[in-house]
Amino acid sequence: MSQYVLGVEGDGTKTNAVILDEHAHLCGFGRGGPSNLEDLSLDVIQANISNAIHQACQMAGLASACFDSAFFGMAGVVSPRDRHAIQKIAEAMHLAPAEQIGIDHDCRIALAGGLRGRPGIVLIAGTGSSCFGMNAERESWRAGGWAHLLADEGSGYWLGLHAMKIAVASFDGRAKPSVLMELVKRHLGLTEMNEIMHRLYVVGLSRAEMAALAPLVLDAAAAGDEASINLVQRGTQELADCILAVAQHLSLASGNSEIVLVGGLFQSSEIFLQPMHQANLQRLPGCRIQQPEFPPVLGACILGLQALSLSMDDEQAHSLHKQVENLGIR
What are the tens digits of pLDDT across the range 306-324?
A: 999 999 999 999 999 999 9
How much is the pLDDT for 147? Answer: 84
* Residues contacting residue 147 through CB under 8 Å, at least 6 positions apart: 38, 128
Q: Is residue 125 part of a domain?
A: no
Whether residue 269 has pLDDT greater than 80: no
What average pLDDT does the segment 55-75 reach? 94
Q: Which amino acid is at 306?
A: Q
Domain tally for the chain? 2
Q: Is residue 147 part of a domain?
A: no
**What residue numbers bound the domain in which 23 lies?**
4-116+293-327
**Residue 147 near residue 38, CB atoms below 8 Å:** yes
Whether residue 173 has pLDDT greater than 90: yes
**Residue 109 near residue 115, CB atoms below 8 Å:** no
Highest mean pLDDT of the ranges 33-47, 78-92, 155-169: 155-169
CA nearest neighbour of 248 among 278, 286, 284? 284
What average pLDDT does the segment 116-137 reach? 94
Mean pLDDT of the chain: 94
- Distance CA(9)–CA(15), nearest Å, equals 6
Give whole-number Cα distances, 25 to 111, 180, 295, 315, in Å: 20, 47, 15, 11
Question: 286: helix, coil or strand?
Answer: coil
Give the largest CA-CA distance in the chain: 71
Q: Is residue 57 part of a domain?
A: yes
> Within this chain, do residues 168 and 73 fall inside the same structural domain, yes or no?
no
Q: Is residue 148 part of a domain?
A: no
> Within this chain, do residues 165 and 286 fall inside the same structural domain, yes or no?
yes
Q: Is residue 151 part of a domain?
A: no
> Within this chain, do residues 258 and 313 fall inside the same structural domain, yes or no?
no
> Within this chain, do residues 99 and 179 fall inside the same structural domain, yes or no?
no
Whether residue 283 has pLDDT greater than 90: yes
> Within this chain, do residues 260 and 317 fall inside the same structural domain, yes or no?
no
Q: Is residue 141 part of a domain?
A: no
Q: What are phi and psi of 255, to 5 degrees?
A: 85, -160
> pLDDT-based confidence at 204, cuts 50/70/90?
very high
| CATH code: domain of residue 103 | 3.30.420.40
